[in-house]
Amino acid sequence: MIWIESFLSVWALIAIRLLAQGHKAGPIVGWVGQVLWVSMWIYTEQYGFILIDVGLGYIYLEAYIKGKKNGQESGTTS
C-alpha cells in the first residue's frame, strides 16, 4: 500500500506543479489523481480522507472549466 500512496503523492505534486505553471493538462492530471485517491480511500475504508480529496477534485475541475472558458473567449476574439 505504501507504493500506491507514494505513487499518488508524486502524481499530486506533478499536478500541482502543472497547475501552478498554467499548463493546460494540470487540471485534468489533478482531477484524475483525486479520483484515484478517493478510490483508494474507499477501497481501504478510510472514509475520513474522502471529503478533502473530493474538495480538491472540485478545485481541479473548476480550474479546468475556467481554462476552457478562457480558451473559447480568446479563440473567438482572434
Please provide the DSSP assignment of 16-39 as one string. Answer: HHHHHTT-TTHHHHHHHHHHHHHH
Handedness of CA 9, 12, 14, 16 (dihedral sign): negative
Asked whether residue 76 carries a pLDDT value surpassing 90, the answer given is no
pLDDT tens digits, 20-75: 998 889 999 999 999 999 999 999 999 999 999 999 999 999 989 988 888 765 44
What pTM value is reported for the model?
0.79
* Cα 74 to Cα 64: distance, rounded to the nearest angstrom: 15
Tracing cell 475556467 back to the chain, one arrives at 66
Q: Can you give the residue ranges of every domain in the chain? A: 23-71
